[in-house]
Structure 1
Amino acid sequence: MVSLGTVISYCFFRWVFDIKLGLLPLKKDILDLWMPIILPWISVLIWLRKRIRLLRIRGKGGDGYFGYQFAMVAAIAAPLVVSQEYVDKISYDLIEVNSVSDISKIKGGKYFKVNSFDVEDNASLFHVTVRTTGKYNGTLNFNLFYATPLRGSTSVWHCVEYKRTINNNLSKQRKNLEYSNFLDRSSKEFNTYNFYAVTYFEKLAISKERDGFVNAVEKEYPGVNANNQIFLAPKIVAFKNKNYNSLRNTVVTFLIGALIILIMIILPKIDKNELNRFKRNKPLKDDDFKDFLEFLNPIGAYKGGAVLIFLNIIVFLVMIFIGLDFVSPTTKELLDIGGNRRQEILNGEYWRLLSSNFIHIGVFHLFQNLLGLVFSIVFLENLIGYMKFILVYIVCGIFASLASIYWHEDVVSVGASGAIFGLFGVMLAFAVFKIFSDYMRKFVGIFLGLVIGLSLLFGMVKSVDNAAHIGGLISGFVIGAIFVFANKEQLRIKEKKEF
């Protein structure tokens, strides 16, 4: 019921607020993929978390229960992702128009068959984007967008996109060569492109693809209203507005997931003690989710950490709502929103030294840095106090930004890692000057050795700003040493009480 309710609820929500009312200014990949992946976690944690504990599942430290939660999330997410294609297909019909000027008069349409149109192929505009994706930014993606005006309208464009993907670990010379070859080959293909080999057009929704064509137009017409522009992608296949294959796939995916979960539920025995607690509506003995929520409480035990976590998440959500890509925003987008670069700082935009510490290159970059921040919160905040914790984050983040622009001439630096390395530097100082107990010193030493070592290693071959990391680490160590010499005994007393 939870799975079915989640699928139906989101599809209805999407149909009403996105398709019919147009009130969700989010990119298509977020609505089609990321929201269907995230929402099932909410459903499982709210409605199924306690029920999973009724099963006697083997596993160390609750790993078995987490595995069940993950399986249930997957069983809900799979049909939810597949269903989005069906929702899209049944929501739009193919609209036949006589000319492109008629498209501007129709609101809510997505697919159009234009009986007669002409292109101004000598007025084509283009834009190129370069994005890194994949694990450790190991993939480099080239996209070339051609927007060609259609006669009879000042706001309707014929769109053609070319793509190329290469390994980002290639040498700079090789990547430049691949980039040049991509542009040359795409340009030659476009020069012989047949604009009239089209069955129907799809009006592009908010997406990375549409952004590329918008940028192509804005370069030539800086004052143009992007919201009023219509970008049409040509389709050469027959139109099927009632795609029953996607409905069938949704049902089959749902049934397969339900069968797997049913088997997983039948196999283990029932934990009678947990069943009695559940019937009496008592809370779980070990509830990791509740502990996590307490950890995020801005008036709880970790006030400073909660504030910093929420600030980073809020900034990321703002980035998404203003149109930046969920996974891999471009360098220009990051710079426009507040990224750190030497040229802008020397021109007086000093605020970037701070703002860049709350901006991230996609959701995975954010998640990675939040993990480091959580570790720092647990082992540091209650020793120095939440106000000092926040202050250390800010000060070390600024020093990390200064180190980055000192070392890099033309690199856009973003992310909380410089500030987090500052917090690591304070922890390192506490280990060196024996604020931590022997056990904690070993534990912190191993952890920091791994993190710092891996960071330096990846910085040699990946897109990691080691200058910011080192700048943050050194400034944090200095601040930590100041804390030690100013209040060594009190820090040791707090450490014994905390750990």
Structure 2
Amino acid sequence: MTLREDILDLWIPIILPWVTVLIWLRKRIRLLRIRGKGGDGYFGYQFAMVAAIAAPLVVSQEYVDKISYDLIEVNSISEIPKVKEGKYFKVNSFDVEDNASLSHVTVGTSGRYNGSLNFNLFYATPLRGSASVWHCVEYKRTISNNLNKQRKNLEYSSFLSRSNKEFNTYNFYSVTYFEKLAISKERDGFINAVKNEYPVINMNDQIFLVPKNVAFKNQNNDSLKNTIIAFLIGTLIILILIILPKIDTNELNRFKRNKPLRDDDFKDFLEFLNPIGTYKGGAILMILNMIIFLIMIFIGLDFVSPAAKELLDIGGNRRQEILNGEYWRLLSSNFIHSGVFHLFQNLLGLAISIVFLEKIIGYLKFILTYVVCGIFAALASFYWHEDVVSVGASGAIFGLYGVMLAFAILKIYSNFILRFTWIFLGLCIGLSLLFGTIASVDNAAHVGGLASGFIIGVIFVLMGKEALRENAVYD
């Protein structure tokens, strides 16, 4: 099983420093006297430490990649498939079948609230001498996703027209060396270009080469220089962070006696992931969502923004598939997320609903409510959208918000908790529904989940209002 290139080169170098800081440096940072007028600055210090460690690691990945592979010189394209571990190739003689080029277009969103719309056009051209080696060219453009539909269509047509003209005059032989694409979103685009024409070809055997027009050694030199500079800057930042504050003698004494931290936010966070702890139901749901996301990554989906077709293939919700009898998608789609930021956003919403709700209704009813509301949210999306792939836990989470709304209206919460509940529900529901009108957010699922959750909340109250009120008393 091979991870995608962006996971190895970007996300693992970002995640590993967090593990180091939270496990090893977290208690040691507390020895520094950094609490000021602005409140608790320990998280800011942790974040700065992570950035100082992660940035050099990310930059160094390019250099590590370059020195891990030699530039292999071959006489013809037919020699490339025989070099299993090679990545960079200088081909002395090659020819392309330019009249047999295959293309594939993708349109996707990115950025905060899907504010950017990305066009990508992939051209895969067979290279003579091998039935499995392709010359690859990509064209891309990004526009605002907030434009009206007519303007988007105009920009899309303009992009295709301009790209096609450029490709028609493209010089295939202006190349210094080739880079063989690893598993990546870019490679997926060229795979789809070939698959559209040859659906039965084994794509694992195909080799996709991207031409490079710069000297190979020059790239190594730049990568080494950037790596050294990044490590020097990171080291300097860490030294400054350590030297400037004074030592907190009280915390130092507690540390020497191996005492636990008095205010440990990380420990509190881990409580949400303990399936035998205080929040059993919430922990089970959070872990299940994270496990499914990890499975998605290990089978090759993009970490940040997987394609709609990929999400559909692993269980996303769409009207056509439901009408064809694939009703299980109404459940599975609630545990699939379109990238790490989508997952994080929903885990945060789930964590908040855990605090406000699970203790009151119990962990079994909490899980059941999540599942039932998620199904109703998927049904609302199925009814409202004709050709949209819907995924994510937000519909189920809005169902939990609906239960909270019912409890707030029917006076289950104490006056103190009620104020926070109204503020949270007003901000969260209002902002989510608002952004749903200007970005690619499935408001149909949100409304469906919220309505079904409210009904379930009313049923809970009718079944035992006094018991709910007793459970709603927080220590």
So what's the TM-score if we normalise by structure 2? 0.98
Residue 430 of structure 2, aligned match among 448, 453, 459:
453
Structure 1 position 312, deviation (Å): 0.8
Structure 1 position 264, deviation (Å): 2.1
Distance in 2 (alpha carbons) for counterparts of 1:462 and 1:60:
38
Paired position in structure 2 for 1:10: none
Distance in 2 (alpha carbons) for counterparts of 1:455 and 1:239:
48
Could you tell me which runs of 5 or more consecutive residues in structure 1 were left unpaired when the two chains were aligned: 1-23
Structure 1 segment 36-435 matched on structure 2, within 5 A: 36-59=13-36, 63-240=40-217, 243-435=220-412
Distance in 1 (alpha carbons) for counterparts of 2:364 and 2:178:
56
How many residue pairs end up in the alignment? 475
Q: Equivalent residue of 2:33, what SS?
A: coil
Distance in 2 (alpha carbons) for counterparts of 1:198 and 1:424:
57
Distance in 1 (alpha carbons) for counterparts of 2:275 and 2:403:
22
Distance in 1 (alpha carbons) for counterparts of 2:311 and 2:37:
41
* 1:342-396 superposed Cα distances (whole Å, 9 cap, x missing partner): 1111110101101111111111111111110000011111111111100000000
Could you tell me which runs of 5 or more consecutive residues in structure 2 were left unpaired when the two chains were aligned: none
Q: Is the 8 A contact 1:93 1:241 kept in 2?
A: no
Residue 35 of structure 1, aligned match among 12, 16, 35:
12
Q: Equivalent residue of 2:118, what SS?
A: strand
Distance in 2 (alpha carbons) for counterparts of 1:322 and 1:117:
34
Structure 1 position 35, deviation (Å): 1.1
Larger CA deviation: 241-250 vs 229-238? 241-250
Distance in 1 (alpha carbons) for counterparts of 2:167 and 2:87:
25
Distance in 2 (alpha carbons) for counterparts of 1:445 and 1:373:
17
Distance in 2 (alpha carbons) for counterparts of 1:256 and 1:447:
41
Code of the residue aligned with 1:29 in structure 2: it is D
Residue 474 (structure 1) aligned with residue 438 (structure 2): no
Structure 1 position 446, deviation (Å): 1.2
Question: Structure 1 residues 144 and 484, CA, compared in 2 at 3 Å: closer, same or farther?
Answer: same
Distance in 1 (alpha carbons) for counterparts of 2:411 and 2:263:
33
Identity %: 81
Structure 1 position 406, deviation (Å): 1.0
Q: Is the 8 A contact 2:317 2:329 kept in 1?
A: yes
Paired position in structure 2 for 1:7: none
Q: Is the 8 A contact 2:408 2:418 kept in 1?
A: yes
Q: Equivalent residue of 2:246, what SS?
A: coil
Code of the residue aligned with 1:316 in structure 2: it is F
Question: Structure 1 residues 374 and 62, CA, compared in 2 at 3 Å: closer, same or farther?
Answer: farther
* 1:12-58 superposed Cα distances (whole Å, 9 cap, x missing partner): xxxxxxxxxxxx61111111111111110000111111110111112
Distance in 1 (alpha carbons) for counterparts of 2:312 and 2:267:
38
Question: Which ranges of 4 or more aligned residues in structure 1 deviate by more than 6 Å?
Answer: none
* 1:179-237 superposed Cα distances (whole Å, 9 cap, x missing partner): 11111111111111111111111111111111111111111111111111000101111
Q: Equivalent residue of 1:286, what SS?
A: coil
Q: Is the 8 A contact 1:132 1:139 kept in 2?
A: yes
Q: Is the 8 A contact 2:272 2:351 kept in 1?
A: no
Distance in 1 (alpha carbons) for counterparts of 2:146 and 2:109:
11
Code of the residue aligned with 2:145 in structure 1: it is N
* 1:287-333 superposed Cα distances (whole Å, 9 cap, x missing partner): 11122112211111111101100111111111111111111111111
- What is the aligned-residue RMSD (CA, Å)? 1.3
Larger CA deviation: 241-250 vs 131-140? 241-250
So what's the TM-score if we normalise by structure 1? 0.93
Structure 1 segment 485-496 matched on structure 2, within 5 A: 485-496=462-473
Structure 1 position 131, deviation (Å): 1.3
Structure 1 position 418, deviation (Å): 0.4
Q: Is the 8 A contact 1:131 1:329 kept in 2?
A: no
* 1:121-159 superposed Cα distances (whole Å, 9 cap, x missing partner): 111111111110111100111111010111111100010
Distance in 2 (alpha carbons) for counterparts of 1:455 and 1:47:
37
